Structure 1
C-alpha cells in the first residue's frame, strides 16, 4: 500500500505522455497532407530567426503592453515548469523535494519560481480584462465568436489555476516545515507563498498534509492535461513557434513565388529556336493543378502556419482591407485552413488513413472569393505576425487557382489582362497609342 501513490502517479504520467505522443502523430499526419517542399538554405540565418523571434519574442514587443505581458507569462510558465522535473522524480520514487540538497541554489530557484508565478497571475488577469472587459477590437471580430473566445479564456483559467495550485502547495509545505512535520525538511525560499502559509496557521498537521498533497496532485495532473489540450487550442504555438519561425520566409516579402509550369511556358515562348506547336514528350509529367483549392494543394509549411496561428489578431488589425470594412481577415484565413485540415484529418481517421471525397473544399466552403479578392497583397499581415505566419501565400495560391483553373477572376481584372494580351498595356488603347502618355 505504501507504493500505491507512486504506482498511480506513474500510470497517470505514462497515460499523459501516451496521449501527447498520439496528438503529435495526428498533427504530423495532418501536416503531411500538404505538398512536400525541401528547405535547406541559409540554416544559420534560420536559426537566428528562430532564436530572435520564437525565443527572444522580438516581434511581440512591437506592441509593448501585450508584448511585456506575454513575455511574463511565457518565461514564467516555462521556467516554473522546470519544477515539474522534481515533481516527476518525487512522484515516481516517493521522495519529497529531491533537489533540496542543492542548498542555497535550490532556495533561490524556488524563490524565483514564486515571484514568476505571481507575475504570471497578474499578467493572466490583465489579459482576461483586455479580452472580456476592455474588449479590444481585434478580440471581438466575427471569427472570434464561439469556441475561439472560449478557448482563449479557458487557457487563461488553466494558467491561473496552475499558478495558484503551485503557490498553495508551497504555502502548505512551508507551514509544515515550520511545524517540523515528518519528511517536510527545511528547503526552499517562499517570498510569496509564505503569506498563504500565514493563513494556514490554525490547520492541523494532518489537514495541512492533505492540502499540500491535493495541491501537488492537481498541479501535476493539470500540467499533463494542459499538455494534451494544446493540440485542440490556439496555444499549440507554444510548441510550433520554433519550427515555424525556422522555416519562415527569408526572401523579400514582396517577392511572390512563380509557378514552375508557367515559367517553363514563358521560357518556351521566348526561345526563338523552340517549336511552340511541338507535341509534349511521352514521358513528360502531367501538368499539376494550378494554385490551390483545398488543403491538399497547399505546402506543409503553409499547413504548419495554420496550426501555429495564435489567433492574436495582429494581422487582421493591420490589414488595410479589413480596416476599411472589407470581409477579409488574415486571421480567419489561417483559422479556416486549420479547421478544414482538421476535418480532412478526421476523414482520414475514419477511412483507415485514406481521404474520401466529402464534397467540400477550403475554397468556397470555408474561404469565399470575396475575401480573396479583397486582399491588396501589401504583406502587412506577414509583417505583423509575431511567429512568422504568411497568410498571403495561401491567398495568392487560391487566387491562382481561380484565375488559371476556373477563369473566375473579377471582371475588372479580366478586362485588364485582356488589354495586356491584346494591347500590350492595361488600358483599352491601340498598341500604337500606348506610349503617347510619355509625350505629355
Structure 2
C-alpha cells in the first residue's frame, strides 16, 4: 500500500510541475511579445523598491488594518508552505515526519510557528470574505463600467479565499489526528516529537473518541487533501489574479524610476520638433528614421513591462476607486484597462500557439475591440492610479500609448483637443492668442 501511495504522489508532483512549467512558459512568451525596454539600470534602487513594496507591503499599509491582514495572509501562506519540503520528501520516500528525529525540540517549535500562521490565514480569509459579501466594500464589487468582466474576478477571489480556508483546516486537523495516532503508538505514526503542537493540540479532543481505522483514514485524507490542494493551487494561481504572489517581486523591481509625471516622448518626433524650432541642425548624412506606428494599437506595440503589469494586476480596485474620472461618472476604469490588456495578451498567446508559434491576424486590436476611445479620452493623467497601486503597476502608460495612436496615427481627437494642439503649435501655448499678448492682463491690473 505504501509503495502505491509513493507512486501516486510522485505522479501527482510530476503532473503539477508539468502544468506549472507549461503555463509559466506561456506567460513568459506573452510578456516577451512587448517591445524591448531597458529596466536594468540603478539595481540597488530597484532592489530597495522591491523589498519595501513587494515584500514589506509598504503601499498596503495606508490602511493599517487591511495592510496587516494582507501581510498575515501573504507571509503566513509562504511560511506555512515551507513545510511542503518535508511533506514532499515524506511522499517520495514513504516516511512520516522525516525531520522530527533530527531537529529535536526545534521541530515542534517550527510546527507551532506554522500553525499560528495557519490560524492567522484562516481568520484573515474569513475576514476578507466578510468584507466582500457582508460589509460589501465598494471597490471589491466592481465599478459600474466593469460588469462585462466582473463575474469571473469576483468568483476567482471567492474560490481562492475558500480554498485557503480549507487548506488551513486540513493542515490543522491533520496535525491533530496525527497527534492522537502518535499518542496511541500506532505504527508508522510513532515518530518521536519533542513537544506538543500549539493550535492543533486544541483540536485533538475532536478525534480522541475515534477508532484507529477512522483516525488513519482521516489523517491520510487530510494529508492528501493538503498536499494535492497546494499542488492544485500552484497550477491554478497561474490562471488567477493571484499570480501577483509571484510577479509582484519582478514587477516592483522593474518599476519606473523616473518621476511619475514624466512622460515618454518618441525620439523621432522630438527630433523633428527640434529641427523645426531650429534647436538642432539636420545631419545630411543621416538616414531618416522610419516610423511604423505612433503609440500602441495592439499589445505588440506596448513594452514588455506594460504586459508584465497586466499579468501582475491584483484586481484590488484601488486604482479605479482613486480615479477622478471614474468617480465623476466617466467610463474610464484603470483596473479594467489592465484586465483588458491581460485578456488580449492571453488571446494573442493562444492564437500564436495554435498556429505553430506565429500570430495570425484575427482582425482584433486592443484599442476598439477591448478598450474604447471613450475610456482613454476620459483620463486626466493625474497619476492617481499609479500612486495607489500596491505593486507599482502603471495603467497610465498604456492609456497614453493608446491615445497617442488614435490621435497621431488615425487623427482621431476631439475637436477641442485639436484646437488646443493647433494653439500649442502656432502660439506655443494652449490659448488662442499670440505669445506677445500673454502679459496684456498685467496692464489691466496696473491700470
Does TM-score exceed 0.5, indicating one fold? yes
Closer, same or farther in 2 for the Cα pair 1:139/1:6, shift >3 Å?
same
Answer yes or no: is 1:88 the counterpart of 2:95.
Answer: no
Q: Which runs of 4+ in 1 moved over 4 A?
A: none
Alignment of 1:383-402 (within 5 A): 383-402=387-406
Structure-2 residue corresponding to 1:124 = 125
- Structure 1 position 409, deviation (Å): 1.4
2: distance between equivalents of 1:67 and 1:433? 53
- Structure 1 position 192, deviation (Å): 1.5
2: distance between equivalents of 1:378 and 1:393? 12
Structure-1 residue corresponding to 2:290 = 286
1: distance between equivalents of 2:423 and 2:308? 39
1: distance between equivalents of 2:23 and 2:282? 53
1:428 partner SS: coil
Structure-2 residue corresponding to 1:27 = 27
Structure-1 residue corresponding to 2:235 = 228
Answer yes or no: is 1:237 the counterpart of 2:241.
Answer: no
Structure-2 residue corresponding to 1:309 = 313
- Structure 1 position 361, deviation (Å): 0.6
Structure-1 residue corresponding to 2:54 = 54
Answer yes or no: is 1:72 the counterpart of 2:76.
Answer: no
1: distance between equivalents of 2:150 and 2:307? 23
Structure-2 residue corresponding to 1:298 = 302
Structure-2 residue corresponding to 1:256 = 263
- Structure 1 position 181, deviation (Å): 1.2
Give deviations 1:217-265, integer Å, cap 9, x for gaps. 1111110000000111000000000000000011111111111111221
Structure-1 residue corresponding to 2:326 = 322
Structure-2 residue corresponding to 1:111 = 112
Whether contact under 8 Å (2:40, 2:254) holds in the other structure is no
- Structure 1 position 189, deviation (Å): 3.2
Whether contact under 8 Å (1:425, 1:434) holds in the other structure is no
The gaps in structure 1 that reach 5 residues or longer are: none
1: distance between equivalents of 2:202 and 2:129? 25
Alignment of 1:393-432 (within 5 A): 393-430=397-434, 432=436
1: distance between equivalents of 2:87 and 2:66? 31
Whether contact under 8 Å (2:274, 2:280) holds in the other structure is no
1: distance between equivalents of 2:436 and 2:211? 99
Structure-2 residue corresponding to 1:192 = 199
Closer, same or farther in 2 for the Cα pair 1:270/1:313, shift >3 Å?
same
1: distance between equivalents of 2:226 and 2:293? 51
- Structure 1 position 286, deviation (Å): 2.1
2: distance between equivalents of 1:30 and 1:227? 19
The gaps in structure 2 that reach 5 residues or longer are: none
How many aligned positions are there? 437
Residue 379 of structure 1 is aligned with which of 380, 383, 406? 383
Closer, same or farther in 2 for the Cα pair 1:50/1:272, shift >3 Å?
closer
Closer, same or farther in 2 for the Cα pair 1:83/1:73, shift >3 Å?
same
Whether contact under 8 Å (1:321, 1:374) holds in the other structure is yes
Whether contact under 8 Å (2:115, 2:172) holds in the other structure is yes
Residue 183 of structure 2 is aligned with which of 158, 167, 178? 178
Answer yes or no: is 1:147 the counterpart of 2:152.
Answer: yes
- The alignment's C-alpha RMSD in Å is 1.7
